[in-house]
Structure 1
Amino acid sequence: MKTWDERVDEIWAAAAGEPVDDEIIARIDALAAERGADDARAAFERAGARDSAGREAEAIALYRRALELGLDEEHRPQAVVQLASSLRNVGAYDEALALVSAETDAHPDSPYRDAVAAVHALTLASAGQPARGLSVALLALVPHLPRYHRSMTVYARQIAGTTPDMPTANTT
């Protein structure tokens, strides 16, 4: 017999590339019901289904509930990213920014740090601060560059207005 996680993964795999609709939500809800109303992972999956269907307001409440109930370290950062993204989508920029900032401060080495930075950058852009958003995105990209870490870090901070100008001849 398949595990609960395997059955959840099957639903998401079947939905890949397709719009999430009421059928997918119902299937996720049925699996979530097996774990009960006070199960963090069940709330997280229910939130994700609604989020994927464009029902952010419903998703937000469920993401909050999942985090309140206590998700494991694999799903907690995913819930933070997805909650912040949903908050951005409904225009709750300050709350989304507070959430991603707290996540970055508390877990700077998380495997989800780039996803957190991406949502942070998008939220800043949506909130009318595109230069700061670009800066956040560039700073997240810097560790993945083969060279130019120092100069790109300085340029990213210049764009955000957080560092003095640097001569452009230095590229390492």
Structure 2
Amino acid sequence: MAETERPKKIYTPMQARAKAEHYCAFQERAQQEVRDKLYSWGLHMQDVEATISQLIEDNFLNEERFARAYARGKFKMKGWGKIKIKQGLKLKQISDPLIRIAMTEIDASDYFTTLESLISKKDLLIREENDFKRKHKLFQYALGRGYESNLIAEVLESNNY
């Protein structure tokens, strides 16, 4: 065994539950994240599901609270658009109704202002003389950040890029 590898520690269901409570108290978690973590700690399926249900009952785990916090955080801290946020929530196996609820955390005027700000900042960094190519690069950048193409086009037209 290499020096960098450590043997995996196996936890009892009680130890894992206490550790999972700390894990969930540190930041909001999706059920699937916690489930994966419990399996990595060596728990079996019935112990994992029992622990998950106990965490939900004790309000350490709440999918709606997680989805809302995720959407708020990714928008405010990383400047992600709704498309990218929805994809991230789907990867965390959040249900469509909860994703719709989470999207209500994003204010429409803030959303548009953030998109304008992202595009104007990126415009200062692009060293492209050809206006068509410059506009295309800005469009692609905003698409990559998860914004809707119709909004991007609106911002690009209204600000004469």
Normalising by structure 1, report the TM-score.
0.29
Normalising by structure 2, report the TM-score.
0.31
Higher RCO (CA < 8 A, seq sep 6+): 2
Please tell me whether Structure 1 or Structure 2 has the larger radius of gyration of its CA atoms: 2
